[in-house]
Structure 1
């Protein structure tokens, strides 16, 4: 599994038709970059965008390729097969893999994996009721390394009109987190915040995602990256607390003990261990 994709907290979309933005995206602080051949590219520009991408990707360093995904066009579109043929060559050069939109069946995901080769990592986007119905199958498909939630397309698919807090999507977010846990995948990736200039909205969306158990978020502007990274990363105080818990547990050979007036038992110790892992 590509550790860059598995451990990333921020995934920044960049239109594949705008190669002049690639370097800025890679230097934005985003843990992973998604070069988008799907929604960000108009139909009459898709072939040109794919060709530009094929020309630019060989110029990426190995480290850059390892944290780069390409969002392909969905199965059933006229661009899907050509996207796969182009990407198969790039995966052999070190590209992490593909984000797969409109993911609705394990068989379609397996076909993408076979086309790209065994080294390609897949991040399926759950964007429809059909995708939600198959979420456990999607999570258990070979080469899938994380699930992602396309909450805007999901609302469109069901004719939903969600409020700012998106309480209407509570059960869907829980389903993605639970499916990831059952499949042994890293925590899933939550959807975008479209209000790129609204820091309060971004913070609220990110805190909601973290509260549900998501481990990352999709970004559509470099200005969103820093706040997302900080929200999903333990603070210095969190790390210090976790270090003290782990050291205390080791000294007592895992037995429950009291620290700062609170009981520390196995669930607390495991939380501290996870905190230290997230801190790197």
Structure 2
């Protein structure tokens, strides 16, 4: 079962909204949040049918977030209207949040929050404007967390997705989220669907860089990402050893331990408990 909380999710699994045959498998994948996608994964001609299937799912016992079409796209208002009907009809129990693509305008995010009162928003930053205004995006009404869509961002920048400028944008989001007091951002997808080593490497890099989770595009990626974000047995043992020394300055395994090291140890243990 999904935990369904965007704010503390480590794994968020996208499923095309026009593939209802995949909804059940996604729900059983172990992902913290299933995201039914009405945007990039669905052809324009199939968006109406996808919207119908998504509404049916979340109003009949399924738990998922929904990625709506981007502001300015023809389908955006129709997507929002469909979700409004769920909320107004008190059938939104299965709707755990809304993923907002191309998030860059705090006013537009606030407008969406007002249209869907109480619904957590995951702001997917995919443009240069969104990166440069990431702190304002993070503090916009309704937004509980940031995520990076690095493939769209690379296209917006005219850069390679693996170029340093895209990694720099990730760092910008980590800083903005911390400054805003919001959870660590969610990293973008790994396009190597079944290449376990590549997905693991991507997830470990994201974790080292301060990200708090990762978007997934296949159920096989979910457990790989979860394990990559969980502290290793060696890290947990180190953290416990550090905390045994108390609050003062100490030396553990030849390393000076002071307050910043203690805080890191505490964070590792908290993450380990959350992952278990």
| Both structures adopt the same fold (TM-score exceeding 0.5) | yes
How far did 1:26 drift? 1.2
Q: CA deviation at 1:162?
A: 4.1
CA drift at 1:267 = 0.8
- Structure 1 window deviating more from structure 2 (182-191 vs 127-136): it is 127-136
What secondary structure is seen at the aligned counterpart in 2 of 1:196? coil
Match of 1:222 in 2: 219
Structure 1 residue 241 displacement after superposition: 2.6
In structure 2, the CA distance between the partners of 1:34 and 1:6, relative to structure 1 (3 Å rule), is same
Three-state SS of the structure 2 residue aligned to 1:59 is coil
Give the superposition deviation at 1:60.
2.1
Aligned to 1:44: 45
Contact 2:4 2:33 in 1 (8 A): no
Task: Give every structure 1 segment of 4 or more consecutive aligned residues whose post-TM-superposition deviation is greater than 3 Å.
Answer: 89-92
1:112-136 deviation digits (Å, cap 9, x = unpaired): 101111x211111111112122211
Matched, 1:204 2:201: yes
State the match for 1:133 in structure 2. Answer: 132
The equivalences for 1:118-197 within 5 A come to 119-163=118-162, 166-197=163-194
Q: Does 1:34 align with 2:30?
A: no
Deviates further, 131-140 or 9-18: 131-140
Q: Shift in Å at residue 3 of structure 1?
A: 7.7
For the structure 1 residues 138 and 161, does the alpha-carbon distance in structure 2 shift closer, same or farther, using more than 3 Å as the test? same
Q: Give the secondary structure class of the aligned counterpart of 2:242.
A: helix
1:1-280 to structure 2, matched below 5 A, reads 4-60=5-61, 65=63, 68-91=64-87, 92=90, 93-94=92-93, 95-117=95-117, 119-163=118-162, 166-249=163-246, 254-279=247-272, 280=274
**Whole-Å Cα distance in 2 between the matches of residues 161 and 133 of structure 1?**
19
Q: Within 2, Cα distance between the matches of 1:110 and 1:197?
A: 38
Q: Which runs of 5+ in 2 are unaligned?
A: none
**Aligned alpha-carbon RMSD (Å):** 1.8
Give me the whole-angstrom Cα distance separating, in 2, the residues matched to 1:156 and 1:258.
Answer: 48
| CA displacement 1:144-193 (0-9 Å, x = unmatched) | 11111111111111211344xx3232321111100000001111011111
TM-score where L is the length of structure 2: 0.91
Distance 1:247 1:86 in 2: 54
CA distance, structure 2, for counterparts of residue 174 and residue 186 of structure 1: 14
Q: Indicate the SS of the match to 1:146.
A: strand
Deviates more, 1:147-156 or 1:3-12: 3-12
Aligned counterparts of 2:4 and 2:67: Cα–Cα separation in 1: 19
Where structure 1 has 5 or more consecutive residues not aligned to the other structure, the ranges are none
Cα offsets for 1:222-264 (capped at 9, x unmatched): 1111110001111233223323333432xxxx21223334322
Structure 2 CA distance for aligned equivalents of residues 276 and 4 of structure 1: 21
